[in-house]
Structure formats: structure tokens, C-alpha cells
Structure 1
């Protein structure tokens, strides 16, 4: 949502959108057009073409690429605005006979929209939110309003009133909020009276492929057929084709359906990333996933948690009941857990259980496991809770602390500053302590995100103890103070760390002075973690951004991250038609193939004796090396991935600006076991090497889509293997990214490593090591016959 005001980037002249010969000339005013970047001009043209064809679509740019200004530029053209303040008291929009525009957005960005409209063009803008809604509605009905802005919550409640208005255009900002067709918001938005519905979002698909259908079917009804057809023709084949042991015919069908889906989506959605639009204006980003060893105390507490009657009931749910009946335990005697710790409190008002028993305790149990993974203090009673819950939490803490209760200072919240700021019983804090010392000594500035306010409290005490200067923003921070906190952090050299609640971060936080991002606890929804990173990695960032996602090795968090990878890969496949590595046997929403990722038994599996993630990743890497050069074109693309570190960049991955600085502890440690152990790190890799981001589909065939279930086999263009052009005995690279990927892969091979292994080596190598590897590679290449 947030947008940086760029200097003039083009000539001071209008951008004509209408076709030559059209009676009415539709154009973006010169005062707006001269400040647009090239990708933004393309976005405006895309929106206008949808509008001209009398249907809607999705502008799916990454956060920070200026979706707001593209939308305003498009509206200024449609409403015939001149882009300036103007002297006329009568809005030009009324003169051209257009109906009003409705913008539905999060409450936190209503003011941003108002502000941007006032900067860029003269519109009559009103807000339908809070008091005076009736007066605003009367103004709309009397044609005194061109732009009406309202919030999701207000529209969900009062949508029936607003749906009576005949809107010229409806725009939903953060359109991924429409991903659930069963939500009240989605049903309310279906009642909007206009064919021109536009969605703005950088994360159109977050968790499931069907979310893609729900949003597209709202902006362009029928464009993807019926929901049942979409599930059968796209959703199921794409998921099953991604299974690690899927038969070749499943993979082939998935590839065909993926190509077909992307060709259809291209008509209704424009999706661009930072790397392909303004990447040349930025230093780049590296996303490290760091698996921290839990402390011995954490491991014991985690094990005791898994042994509680509540979780044992869930683990053993499908076993035969011990009473001798033919039913399973969950259908018979173990539907309720009266001897548990968590179940009795949840059912204190209904001791016979609820309709969902025992599955109603899954979420509370997962929350407790995540708390143990992050910091043992989190499972103690929260003084902000009511006394009854505090008593129950104290009972739970006593049960899982067991004989270690004295080591953690009892089962009530610690008041000891020194105890809370001590890192010895928390694996993540131990690693963070040493990493932060390295970063701060080198002048780095750090963003630290956590979804838990109590975790931020603990980190805050740690920062005070260490003498670091910091800022903090969470849900209790007044809205009118947030921007001043951001400005102060960006401008003050003394501010070293910014603590931010992942849930309260909001939109528009531009923290480009920070070049280190720590995500302390992973989210089930990968978009949440990626948006946190984007607070720093956006236009205006002058340094290379390095992200560190901290995970507790051997805990539920490994499964959370693996599901993130699974979801990101499905999104890349469905939205962009990219080629992805096949790691997992699990298939979402399929009981037959729950594999290693899905189902209750996987959620509560004891992973303490496994290197869960590294075993999956390195098994795939090993299989890739064994197949060698016998891969098909598709498989080669999958193995190469889209490693953003080019051959030339490999030696300066960790530079800040133009200066190459000394690598920090993690960067040196990956292949040095004693050093890794000193940091308390079990394993680390780069997320961009795991989530493949392989090449997308380049073709632009026109593809017809069936509108009902009677047509099960729409025509699919035949896509044979792409043959490389030969120029002077060398393959002609299709793009600079393809060239970088191929060179990176060759460099890895010259070191006797696979791509993932080489990426891990880069984390540990010194600049001298990297330069030597680069020189040796160049020498070998020059000696080759065609070198």
C-alpha cells in the first residue's frame, strides 16, 4: 500500500490510453505520468484495458511497487482529471457522467488513500466509516461524491446499503481478504452492482489454490468456470503433480494444466515482483532459514508436553478402543479427555464435551508447543488474563516443567529482570545474542519481528541488559505515533534495533535504514513472513538486506516452515506457471496422501531425533546429483532453480553498498561444525534456493475456458520441450536470469557441489574464498575449447 514519491521519471506529457480514432481521448495527466516508473505505466494500461472491456481483474504487484498510485492514475484518466489542484469547485467527474467509485480497504489505510488522492489529482473523496455515515450516503446518492472509501468491517456490516448504489468501479485493496468464499465479507462483496471489479494484492494466493479461484471469480465471474470444475481441472492435478513420488503421467498432466491456467490468468491478472521491476535500483535480498537447537531444558519440556493425555488422545485417535468395541478411540471412549490439562478448562461449562471433540483442542495444543519452541516463559500465566485462566495456565506449566520447575523459577511469571534477559534456557535467544553482537559491531541496523507481544517483552529486556538502543511498535502503539517512530528509527544512527509485532505492523511501514531482518517465530501463512521482510526490502534501500528466520530445530516449527515451502511452491506454480522442485509426499486436503506434512499425527510428531527439514532438502539434492546430465529440460530447470546470486555477485553477496565487509558468524559458520555449535545452530540454508522460483511460462496463447462441468477437456496448446538456439557453439540464454542461473549452477559443479550445498558454502566463505573460487572457475572456463 505504501508508496514512495518518485522524482520525475519521464517526460512531462500525458499518457494516452484510448485507441487511435476513438471519439473520447482517455489519458493520464502529464503531472502524474511524469512521476510514474515504467512498470507503473504498464499497470495503468492493464487496468484501463480491463475497464474498456467492461470487466474486472487483479493488479498483483509486490508490496511497495505503487499499486495505489497506479490505481489513482487510472481513475484520473477515466474521470478526465488534469492532475492538478484546479480552481473549479465542480468535480470534473460529474461533467463526464461517471458513477461513483467504491474503495474497500483495511481501516489502517483509509487515511493513506485519502492522502494519496489529495496529492495526485482533484477528486471529491468521502469516507464511509464511523459517525455521519447517513450524511455521506445522501451525498453519494445526490452525485456529490466521486470516490467513496470504506473499511472491510464497515462494508461487511453495512454492505447491503452500499450495494444499492450503481457503482462505476469497485476496488478492493488487500484483495486476498476475499480468499474465503464462506466469509461474510466475501458474500457481502458479491452483492456489489458493477461489472468493473478490481482487486489489489501482492499475495493473491497464500494458503490454498482455491483462494485464487475465489478472488478471480469475484473480479471476473465465470472466468475460471465453476468452483467444482476448477477443483477438478486445476486444483487437484496441480497438487498431486507436485507430490515427490507422483507418477510421470501425473506430473505431465499437472504441467499442462498449469500452463493452461496461467494463460487464462494472464487475461485478468498482472503479477510483477520487485526483482523484475525495480530490482536494478536495489542491492538485493537474501533470506536465510536458521534452525536453532533448543536448550536441553526446552527439549525436556517439549517431550513432557507431547506426553500429556490431551495430545496422546489426538495421536492415538485412530487406534482400536481399549474397551473392546469395534470403534476407534476417538469414536468411543476417548472422544473427551477429562483427565487432561487443556481439555477440562476448554469444556468447563460443558463437561460432556462439544460437537468437535476432541479436535477442538488441536489449536490450543499447537499454540503451547510453539510457545515452548520460542521461550519457556511464554507458557507461564499471563497477568493480563482473568484469574481462572491464570490458575489453569499455572497448572499446565507445572505439568510440563515437572522436576525442572525450579530451573525456570516456578510456574508463575518471572519478575526477575536478570532471569528474563538470560539466554541460557532458550535456543533462539542464544543464537540471537551472538548474531546481534556481530551485526551491531559492524554498524548494521536490525528489524526484529515476533507475533507474540510477550516475546517482544522478553527481547526488550535482553536489549536493555546488553545496552542496545531500540524502538518498539506493537498493537498498543497509538496509530498517530507509528509514523514518527518509523521516521525516528530511519534518521537516527543511534537506533540499532526495531522491535515490531508481526500482527500490529500494519501497512506502509517503510524501514529502509535496516539491513538485517530477524523473524523470531514463523507463521503458518508464508505471506506474513514475506511481508515482514518487505518492511526493509523496498525502494530506497541502499544496502543488501539479509533476513534470518529463526526456527527451533526438532519442533513443530520445522513443520510450519515445510508447509510454508509447500504453499509458496503451489503459489508459484498456479499463479506464475513456474517449475518447482518436488520435495514432499503430502498433498493438502487429501487424507490418502497426508505424507510428512498433513494430518494430526504429523502435527504432534516427535521430531527431536530427526533433522526433519535438512533430511528432506538434502535427499532431493542428492537425488538431483545422481541423475546428473540425464535430466530432461523440465528437470534441469527444476534443479537449477532461480538463484538470485549471479556469478559476479557470488563474491560480494554480503557487501554493504560498495564496500565488502567481513562476513558475520553465521556467514562463516555453515561448514564449520564447532562454530555452528557455538552459535547453537543445527542447520541453515537460503530460502530462495529451496523455494525454487524456477522459470515461468513465456507463451501468450489464447486459451478458451469451459464455463460449466459439461466440458471437461478444454483444448490445451501443445508445449513441447524448448530447444535452445545455438549461436557459435553456445546456447543462447533466454534472459539474464536464465544466464545467471546456469552460471551459478556451473560454478557449483566446478566446486564439486550441488546448488543447495554451494549456497550453504557461500554463507560460510570469506570474501577471499569467494574470489578464489571465481578465479579458478574463470580459468577452467577459458581452457575449455569453446570457452
Structure 2
């Protein structure tokens, strides 16, 4: 019988690929059969304006390409190579031209086998008894980076301390954790049907604390990957029964939510847990929260944190997280603040003295070396980037409508905001006190203040600073859509009256043009884009994408904004699905699966705050974030709903910002936070853009302080001016080489995007440059004054150039020849033949390709120096 069992196990299929959720493996058959499409050009002008560019291949053209590829299958290998691996050229020539691209492999060009051998993954050292190993049935389905993650977790466990698995979202942190537990608990049921698991007397149970939205995901992943574990959920009405079962050693893995543990912490902390795992561990960033205090009382040293965003807002969040997983690893709180936090922030200031920069560099390197002992951090680019088509993150500054501008200006003049802006000025009554401490501490004539303090006419202890958050919310609402500031029928009568008074104050003489004080119930008015700058740009962008067969994720954190966007989609006749906080949990996965599988579903309308690891929308290749969040991780997580393992197309992200509004400051603070995270966690050197220093009144600069929050930015391109002033020119790599190897050089012609209502745009990855200086063409200014006639004239001129004369053809031909010569030189430098080198190009990760580029460039410089 045991022999038969072993034979059956040998025949088990090993082709199943892991993913962070079951949804990632469900990809529509229509998508897999889709013909290869060229990746988008780096220039935003190409993406946004010239919609008839060769990047947007019409269906007829795609059919022609597909047919040609079939006909060319009989060509010699070298000729086939020339047609399948193309250089990224500034001007795409005729369809049958031969060119070469040094970049990511295209669709259907190369087939990869990710399945590992059907054998256990040994974790323990050679000669150690008993042997700790991951069962073969799990190991054969792990990717290489996941095997490394399992080994890292085991090393933490073996050394009797905790740590952080900080992989990007979508790299399988859940799966790595389950594989690690299967190894530690000896769950080797593959061995001839015998269960060699460690007895309950030797090891205690495992506690997994996670957001309530992913509890069922943990259950399902254990069922798929390690069904031999006894898993129970401590959440809901049956907690007492589960606790009895746990005390009777009938539970090996207990899954509970953060909220439940915060309340039931005293009960659960009495149990001797073998391992405690915190999923989405960044929830433990606040040392003053009750959740953090409860988690500190857990009786085990083996605490593991899983998070793709180790640091979100402040460097001190790092200390709080590591103080939980590995107490004392970063010293005392005061030591961490003085030795790491302050030097890193001061050294990142744009005009910091060279001495400060040097100290920050040394402290950064030291912090990274310490963190590396307790944390494994991998990105998609480092692990599976070469298996995907890539992503571009575009930040697009949309011009507000004239009505929006007037309303925004009136709001800045409200007595509440003027009180905050002038808070530090001397009081007009002649006293030595500031206005915020004297006569202007309260604002009884303000519509916002009077509602907040309707029960306390003398104000509160926080006045006038209690007004900051309500005023920021109103400014953001005006930036997105004017209907958002109108009374909400779901609110109580007092709040509706307050909102009506506010609308009357900020709409002024435009009240009739804006549709009155009351919220509009007209479908035609709500779906109209004329008074919303972002929706005007979105309308034209979506028209181009839909015509090319793209599928779109449309994010907003406001439910009311989702309602308006839903009416807009209905008016345009787009087929869509919607998911927000009101969507029942048991229906969410079916909505995701239907969108991924159905070619007719064009748009997925989704809340930025919608949680759950099952939201893997890999069928979409366009992502629009309608409104930015103060926390950069929210927007990045929204992008990763599409850009994750299983994605077959190049993902292009568009973050829409209202130019000249508070949203520009929201975005620049995102950049600041992401750069600090890159410095402290990854040890990268970032471009120093800003004068402001977080939590430092002496250097509030352009980012921090109340005065900056409510500054009038309508007369300037705030973000553009900062980027243009501070960005560095690219060093060490010539433009031609960069164009060949990284396919990221942008065209220098002036983009004309007035028709789209876009003032300015850049690629986020060029600003948050990960240690490499931003290119001089990374940001672009757009002329919004050009009318549509000039746009059409410019497009006609480009079409004429494409048809070309002999001179243009000769120039393009010589350019291609130069690129081919450089390609041959690179192959020789690597010591390979052209064919062998090309195969290496297709399989190598972007980081390895860039390393070869740098080495080649250095060798050329040395040769020129001689």
C-alpha cells in the first residue's frame, strides 16, 4: 500500500504556480491568446496625445503582425531573432522593418518553466538531526525567491528571534509563511503516507494576527497548500468554543484579526505560542495604540511580521515595528531618534551642508546593515520583473475647470482658513500674543467652526487647530468634484444644514451655474464632465484605451466620487463592475473572477480602501487613481492590484492630480515619504528635492506646516518648479546607451496636450529614482494654451514625416545600424555570440542588464582615456 502511495505522489503534477491568492492563476483564455502588443513609449506625450501612434496597434494591424509571425516561423534562427527582439526607437517605421529591442521579453516569445523538482527543500544544516524540510508537494510549486524567503524565516526561528519578511505585495508572503511552518512542524505527509509531524508536547501552537478582510484568505491558502494543519479562526461568536479546542491541543494554527486581538489580548497572551505572525505588520507602527501595547505582551521571542510597506510615513515607524519583532535590535527609542532619524532627515534637505550629507550617508549604511539581520526585503523588479512586461507610473496634473478654480479661491478666503494661515501673526488688538492665542482663537462667523462647536460656543482646547482636518477635506473635495461638498442626503439634518451654508459661502455668485445648494439628483448633470477638470481628461483618455481593447481599473477613496464615476461610465456606455466597502465579502471574489475572465468587462470601479489579498485584477493593463492619498502605500497598493504575478501586458498607471491645488502638496509629501523609506530601508541615495524636514519647525520649507497646507498654488506649477530646480543630470551612461539598454529615454519634442486639459506630467519612477539621478527629460511642461487646430496641425506634420523622404529614411537607417553595432559590441563584451547573448537578454532581470550596461560604459571610458 505504501509503495502505491509513493507512486501516486511521484505522478503529482508540478506545474501549478503559486500566487498570493487563487485569483492570480485565473486568467482568461482570450487574454492568453491575445497577439503581442508593443510596450508603450516612455514619453508621456506619445501615450497621451498621439493616440494614433504605432503603440496603439489597431486590431487590423495586430492581425497582420500575428499572421506575419506565423509565416516567419520557418526563418533561420538569426532572422527570427531580428524580428522578435527589437530596439526601442523614437520613430516607429513601417510594420515590416527589422529592429532590435534590449528589454523585457514580449508576450508569447519565451516560455518559462517555474516548477521546481519534486523533492523536499532542506532547511536545516548538513548533519543536523532531525532534518527540517519543506514537503516536496509544496516545494515543487515555489518560485526561487520564495524558497529563499522560507530559508530566511527558518534562520530567524533557529536563532530564536523574530524578523520581517518585507516582500512587495504579490510575491507570496503568505505562501512562504505556510511553507516555513510546514517545515518547522515536520508536516512531511509526502513520505509514503506517514505523518512525521512534531508532537504537540514539543511545540506550541501558531498565532496569526491579520486584518479581518484576509482571515478567509489565510484559511483558503492553508487548505490549498498545507491541508494537514489543524487551522481554526478566533473571530466572531464562536470564540469560546475555539479557545476550549485550543487548550485541548486540538488547534495547531489560530487565525484572528487585529481588532479581536486588541480586545481579547489578555486572554490570548496567556497561551505559550511557539510562533506569532503579524500579517500587514505595518499596523503596529504606532507605539501609543492599544493594539501595539497588546501585541507587546505576547509570550514568545519568535515574532514574525509580514508587510510590503515596512515604513509608510516616518522613520520612527521602523523602530516601533522592529522593537516588536526583535526587541532591542535598534537600541533605545531615544538612541534611534538621535543616531538615525534626525541625521537621515537633515541629510536629505536640499541645501543641507556637505557635512550633514556625509553623516547621513554613514548612518544610512549602518542602519541598513543592522536591518538586514532581521529583515528580508525584495521588490517585484528584483525577483519576477524579468518575467513581466513592466509598469509605468505617470503623474498627470489636470487643469481645474474655471468654476472649480473660482470655488477653490473663495474657500481659501474663508475665515477659518485665514485664521489658520495668519495664526502666528501679532493680534490686531495690540496684545503681545499671536492671533491664534488671542482674538482669533475662535471663528464664530465661520460655517465650519460654528458646526464643529455648535455645543460649545466658547470653542475647545484645540482651537483653532481643530479646523485643520475639516478644511483639508473640503479643499480635496473641491479639487475632485464640486458635488462632493454639497449636503449628503445620508447625513443628519444639522450636518446637511452646515454643508448648505458652506456651499453658499464658497459658490457665491456661481451658485446657479453649479446647480444650486442641494446635491444634484440629475443623472445628466452628475455624469457631465464640464465642471470637473479630472473627468474631462479621463473622458478622452478612456475613449482611446477602450478603442484599443484595454481594460481599466478606476480607483477613488470616496464613495460619493465612485457614485459620480459610475454614472459617467453608464452615460458613456462602458461595461463595468464595482467594488467598495458596501460590497459583501462573499461576493468580492466572484466580481474579481468575472472581470478577469470576461472580455466584455471594460472597467473595474473600485475603492482605494478596499482590502483583501484576493483582489488580483491582472486582466487590467490601465490603472487610474482619481484622487491621491496622504499615505503613499495606499496608492502603490492600488497599482499592485493589476501589476502582479500573472499580468501578461505592460501596465500603465495614471495618477490624476488637480494642478494648483492641495493635491500637489499631497503628492510631493508622498515623494518625500517614499524617498525616506528608500533611504532608511533600502539604503538608496535619493535626489534631494525639498527644503522641508519632517517634524522640524526650523525647516518646514515648502512641505510642512499649516501655512503650506493652505497656500495658494494657482499661479504656479508647484511640483514642476521643484523638480526642474532640483533634478540632476544623468551621469555615467550616455543617452544612446541608455536608449538601447533600458528603453527609457523619452523623446524631446514638445508635447501638446491642451486638448486633454493636462498642465504638466512626469513619470513617478524618474522622480523617486532609486539611487539613480533623474533624466533631464523625465519631466515635461505641457502647453495648455494651444487650441485643437494647432494640435491637429502638429499631428499632420508628424504623419508626413513618417511617410518620409529619402533623407529621413537614410537617417533612420543609419541609426538602426549604429544600434546594431553597439549590440554586437555588448555581446562581445559579455563573451557571447549574438544568438546566445540575445537569449541571455530575454532571461536576465533589469538589474543585471543595468549592471552590464554600467560595466560596459566604464570599460569604454577607460579605453577612451588611454
- TM-score calculated relative to the size of structure 1: 0.85
Contact 1:686 / 1:759 at 8 angstroms: preserved in 2?
no
Cα distance, 1:115 vs structure 2: 1.1
Contact 1:84 / 1:120 at 8 angstroms: preserved in 2?
no
Partner of 1:684: 761
Distance in 1 (alpha carbons) for counterparts of 2:579 and 2:817: 48
SS at match of 1:349: coil
1:647 to 2:740 alignment: yes
Contact 2:760 / 2:781 at 8 angstroms: preserved in 1?
no
Residues 1:755 and 1:131: Cα distance change in structure 2 (over 3 Å): same
- Could you give the per-residue CA deviations for residues 530-575 of structure 1, whole angstroms, max 9, x where no partner exists? 0000000001110000000000000000000000000000000000
SS at match of 2:553: strand
- Could you give the per-residue CA deviations for residues 712-735 of structure 1, whole angstroms, max 9, x where no partner exists? xxxxxxxxxxxxxxxxxxxxxxxx
Cα distance, 1:137 vs structure 2: 1.3
Contact 1:298 / 1:376 at 8 angstroms: preserved in 2?
yes
Residues 1:83 and 1:96: Cα distance change in structure 2 (over 3 Å): farther
Cα distance, 1:677 vs structure 2: 1.1
Distance in 1 (alpha carbons) for counterparts of 2:676 and 2:504: 42
Partner of 1:104: 209
1:119 to 2:224 alignment: yes
Equivalent residue for 1:3, pick from 21, 45, 55: 21
Residues 1:377 and 1:774: Cα distance change in structure 2 (over 3 Å): farther
Distance in 2 (alpha carbons) for counterparts of 1:321 and 1:441: 60
Distance in 2 (alpha carbons) for counterparts of 1:471 and 1:777: 49
Residues 1:649 and 1:495: Cα distance change in structure 2 (over 3 Å): farther
Equivalent residue for 2:778, pick from 743, 756, 764: 756
SS at match of 2:21: coil
Residues 1:774 and 1:212: Cα distance change in structure 2 (over 3 Å): farther
Count how many residue pairs are aligned between Structure 1 and Structure 2: 700
Contact 2:396 / 2:761 at 8 angstroms: preserved in 1?
yes
Residues 1:119 and 1:489: Cα distance change in structure 2 (over 3 Å): same
SS at match of 1:267: coil
Distance in 1 (alpha carbons) for counterparts of 2:501 and 2:694: 36
Equivalent residue for 2:508, pick from 394, 399, 402: 402
Please tell me whether Structure 1 or Structure 2 has the larger radius of gyration of its CA atoms.
Answer: 2
Distance in 1 (alpha carbons) for counterparts of 2:134 and 2:610: 36
Partner of 2:819: 778
- Could you give the per-residue CA deviations for residues 198-244 of structure 1, whole angstroms, max 9, x where no partner exists? 00000010000000111011000000000110000000000000000
Contact 2:759 / 2:781 at 8 angstroms: preserved in 1?
no
Partner of 1:694: 771
Equivalent residue for 1:500, pick from 601, 606, 611: 606
- Could you give the per-residue CA deviations for residues 280-315 of structure 1, whole angstroms, max 9, x where no partner exists? 111000000000000111000000000000000000
Residues 1:86 and 1:228: Cα distance change in structure 2 (over 3 Å): farther
SS at match of 1:150: strand
Equivalent residue for 1:309, pick from 415, 423, 445: 415
Cα distance, 1:124 vs structure 2: 1.0
Equivalent residue for 1:142, pick from 223, 226, 248: 248
Residues 1:165 and 1:213: Cα distance change in structure 2 (over 3 Å): same
Cα distance, 1:469 vs structure 2: 0.8
Cα distance, 1:508 vs structure 2: 2.2
Contact 1:59 / 1:270 at 8 angstroms: preserved in 2?
yes
Distance in 2 (alpha carbons) for counterparts of 1:598 and 1:689: 23
Residues 1:169 and 1:775: Cα distance change in structure 2 (over 3 Å): same
Equivalent residue for 2:456, pick from 350, 353, 363: 350
Partner of 2:831: none
Partner of 1:382: 488
Partner of 1:94: 199
Equivalent residue for 1:49, pick from 138, 155, 172: 155
Partner of 1:70: 176
Distance in 2 (alpha carbons) for counterparts of 1:395 and 1:759: 39
Partner of 2:789: none
Partner of 1:370: 476
Partner of 2:656: 550
1:451 to 2:567 alignment: no
Residues 1:772 and 1:412: Cα distance change in structure 2 (over 3 Å): farther
Equivalences for residues 121-270 of structure 1 within 5 A: 121=226, 122-270=228-376
Partner of 1:724: none
Distance in 2 (alpha carbons) for counterparts of 1:248 and 1:204: 29
- Could you give the per-residue CA deviations for residues 145-180 of structure 1, whole angstroms, max 9, x where no partner exists? 110110000000000110000110000000000000
Partner of 1:393: 499
Distance in 1 (alpha carbons) for counterparts of 2:184 and 2:625: 42
Equivalences for residues 4-23 of structure 1 within 5 A: 9-23=115-129
Partner of 1:565: 671
Distance in 1 (alpha carbons) for counterparts of 2:673 and 2:523: 40
Distance in 2 (alpha carbons) for counterparts of 1:772 and 1:393: 64
Contact 2:188 / 2:196 at 8 angstroms: preserved in 1?
no
Contact 2:753 / 2:782 at 8 angstroms: preserved in 1?
no
Cα distance, 1:3 vs structure 2: 3.2
Contact 2:690 / 2:702 at 8 angstroms: preserved in 1?
yes
Residues 1:468 and 1:117: Cα distance change in structure 2 (over 3 Å): same
Contact 1:237 / 1:257 at 8 angstroms: preserved in 2?
yes
Distance in 2 (alpha carbons) for counterparts of 1:343 and 1:645: 55
Cα distance, 1:24 vs structure 2: 1.3
1:422 to 2:463 alignment: no
Residues 1:33 and 1:388: Cα distance change in structure 2 (over 3 Å): same
Residues 1:775 and 1:87: Cα distance change in structure 2 (over 3 Å): closer
Contact 2:270 / 2:299 at 8 angstroms: preserved in 1?
yes
Cα distance, 1:527 vs structure 2: 0.2
Residues 1:135 and 1:771: Cα distance change in structure 2 (over 3 Å): farther
Residues 1:772 and 1:433: Cα distance change in structure 2 (over 3 Å): farther
1:468 to 2:545 alignment: no
Contact 1:689 / 1:755 at 8 angstroms: preserved in 2?
no
Residues 1:11 and 1:87: Cα distance change in structure 2 (over 3 Å): closer
Partner of 1:516: 622
Contact 2:662 / 2:709 at 8 angstroms: preserved in 1?
yes
Distance in 1 (alpha carbons) for counterparts of 2:720 and 2:820: 33
Partner of 1:431: 537
Contact 1:28 / 1:73 at 8 angstroms: preserved in 2?
yes
Distance in 1 (alpha carbons) for counterparts of 2:354 and 2:566: 53
Instruction: Name the stretch that deviates more: 398-407 or 140-149.
Output: 140-149
Residues 1:353 and 1:91: Cα distance change in structure 2 (over 3 Å): farther
Distance in 1 (alpha carbons) for counterparts of 2:566 and 2:454: 36
Distance in 2 (alpha carbons) for counterparts of 1:777 and 1:552: 43
Contact 2:754 / 2:782 at 8 angstroms: preserved in 1?
no
Contact 1:76 / 1:83 at 8 angstroms: preserved in 2?
no
Residues 1:86 and 1:568: Cα distance change in structure 2 (over 3 Å): farther
Cα distance, 1:759 vs structure 2: 12
Cα distance, 1:640 vs structure 2: 10
Cα distance, 1:129 vs structure 2: 0.8
Cα distance, 1:387 vs structure 2: 1.1
